[in-house]
Amino acid sequence: MSIKTLIIFVTVYKEKSVTSAARKLNISQPAVSAALRELEQHYSIQLFKRHGRGIQKTKEARHLYEFASHITSLYQEMELDFKFQDRTLPLRIGSGIPIASTLLPDLIASFLRHSGGSKPYISIDHSHQIEIMVLENDLDLALIEGSTHSEKILSEPFAKEQLILICTPCHPLTHKKQITLEDLKEEQFLLPDKGSKIRELIESTFRLHELPLRPFFESSSLTAIIHGVLANLGISFLPKSMLTKYLNHGDLCELPLREKLELSYHLIYHQNKYLTPQMLNFMEFVSSQNYILTTD
């Protein structure tokens, strides 16, 4: 089995089509099919099933891809390094939405000033989707909120942030000197949707206290949630660092919640990932920043 066979498999996996893979690799469709048969015979597995006019990945294909994507990526890095020593692939960095809404822009700008290298490719999504992209080698590393869900991902914490309870100045809760989760049972919540680590933290906190949580407004956009609260549609939990201007201008109020909700930020990468000098440079830069976000 050759590296070329693995490259063909990885391309078919990504393209979800033998025809598209053949076109992208500039080889014939029979050559692509022969490479897939070689892999299937070598490991005694089935990689793809016919599905209409396309193909469907098997669980064996997904498992093999976890290894093959990193092997072929490392091979391509080697080829690029030795054949084109004046060129490097852009660093592919993922970010969860809350991090992208707060510290990511300044972090990337500072990193570029520090390193003087080429601009990285940035992908922003829910943390669970970012994790999938790291697992499938679509990203080199990522910054996410909360813990990871895969034992194949290595994680290094680099910051913590407080989630605060917010409302408008005219909300009745602003008259209370201290608020408990029990006081919030009948409140209307505006929350991030189910894919968010912020939502996971809020739900787990309410479950721990055996309290119901029934949001009437859900969104993947934290900005939409802020504007919903500003319109007095209800209350929400959000990272304090992204609310500074609203709190300073008196547009929003931080409610004195007795329970503390703290969100941890982590830098993640796949355990099989070859750490290039570019990746190591970025990782060291992030860890050196000593981020002190709003945790009190």
Q: 24 Cβ partners below 8 Å, 6+ apart?
A: 11, 15
Residue 155 to residue 147: CA distance in whole angstroms = 8
Q: What is the pLDDT along the chain (296 residues), one digit of tens a residue?
A: 788 899 999 999 988 888 888 888 888 888 888 889 998 999 999 998 887 777 889 999 999 998 888 888 888 777 776 665 545 678 999 999 889 988 899 999 999 988 877 789 999 998 889 999 998 888 999 999 988 888 889 999 998 889 999 999 999 999 999 999 999 988 999 999 887 889 999 999 999 999 988 888 999 889 999 999 999 999 999 999 889 999 999 999 999 999 999 989 999 999 888 888 888 899 999 988 876 555 45
Residue 93 to residue 282: CA distance in whole angstroms = 10
Residue 207 to residue 171: CA distance in whole angstroms = 25
Q: Which residue type does 229 have?
A: V
pLDDT for 86 equals 47
pLDDT for 88 equals 63
User: What are the structural domains of the chain?
Assistant: 3-83 (1.10.10.10), 92-159+264-288 (3.40.190.10), 160-263 (3.40.190.290)
pLDDT for 291 equals 67
For 221-248, letters b (16+ CB in 10 Å) and e give ebeebbebbeeebbbbbbbbbbbeebee
Name which of 73, 116, 114, 106 is nearest 92 in CA terms.
73
SS3 60: helix
Helices assigned H by DSSP within 27-58: 29-43
**Whole-model pTM above 0.75?**
no
Name which of 291, 275, 285, 268 is nearest 130 in CA terms.
268
Beta carbons of 183 and 60 less than 8 angstroms apart: no
Residue for token pair 């479950």: 207
Residue 178 to residue 145: CA distance in whole angstroms = 28
CA dihedral 251, 170, 199, 214 (to 10 degrees): -160
Name which of 196, 84, 64 is nearest 137 in CA terms.
64
Q: Counting Cβ atoms within 10 Å, is residue 189 exposed (0-12), middle (13-18) or buried (19+)? A: buried
pLDDT for 130 equals 94
Name which of 123, 129, 97 is nearest 198 in CA terms.
97
pLDDT for 224 equals 94
pLDDT for 208 equals 92
SS3 129: helix
Sign for the pseudo-dihedral over CA of 99, 102, 105, 106: negative
Tally of residues, the chain: 296
pLDDT for 217 equals 93
Q: How far is CA 246 from CA 189, 202, 234, 295, in A?
A: 18, 22, 16, 18
